A and B are shown apart, each in its own frame.
Chain A
Amino acid sequence: MRILLVDDEYELVTTLAERMELRGLEADWATSGDDALARITTTSYDVVVIDIKMPKISGIEVKRRMEKIRPGMKYIFMTGHGSEGDFQEGSTEVGGERYYLLKPVAIESLLEKINEVSGH
Chain B
Amino acid sequence: MWAWDEIGPEGLRFYGKMSASISHEVKNVLAIINENAGLLNDLVMMAERGVAVEPQRLVGIAGTIDKQVRRADLIAKNLNRFAHSADHLQGEVDLAEWVELALALVGRFASNRGIRLEFSPPPATPPVQSAPFFLLNLIWLGLDMAMELAGPDKTVLLQIEVAAGRLGLVYDRLNPLSDNDWDFVTDGHVRSLALLLGANPWQDVKSGRFGFDLPCER
Contact = CB atoms under 8 A, between A and B. Distances in A.
Interface of A: 8-9, 11-12, 15-16, 18-19, 22, 53-56, 79-83, 102-107
B10 interface: no
Interface in B8-59: 20, 23-28, 30-36, 38-39, 42, 46
B114 A80 contact: no
A102 B111 CA distance: 21
B78 interface: no
* Most chain A Cβ neighbours within 10 Å, of B31, B64, B111, B112: B31
A83 B114 CA distance: 21
B60 to A, nearest CB: 10
A80 B34 CA distance: 13
B200 interface: no
Contact of A53 (B32, B34, B67, B112): B112
B152 to A, nearest CB: 15
A107 B27 contact: no
Contacts of A18: 39
Contacts of A12: 28, 31-32, 35
Contacts of B39: 15, 18-19
B68 interface: yes
Given A18-B39, A22-B42, A53-B112, A81 B34 contact: no
B111 A55 contact: yes
A19 B68 CA distance: 19
Nearest to B111: A55
Q: What band does the interface of chain B fall in when counting residues whose beta carbon is under 8 Å from A?
A: 20 to 34
Given A53-B112, A103-B30, A105-B31, A19 B24 contact: no
Contact of A80 (B24, B46, B112): B24
A102 B32 CA distance: 13
Interface string B70-109: 0000000000000000000000000000000000000010
A19 B38 contact: yes
Contact of B35 (A19, A80, A81): A19
Contacts of B108: 53
B23 A80 contact: yes
B42 A80 contact: no
A8 B31 CA distance: 12
B36 A103 contact: no
Given A53-B112, A79-B27, A81-B20, 9 more contacts: A9-B32, A12-B35, A19-B38, A19-B39, A80-B31, A82-B24, A102-B27, A105-B31, A107-B38
B36 to A, nearest CB: 6
Contacts of A54: 112
B114 A55 contact: yes
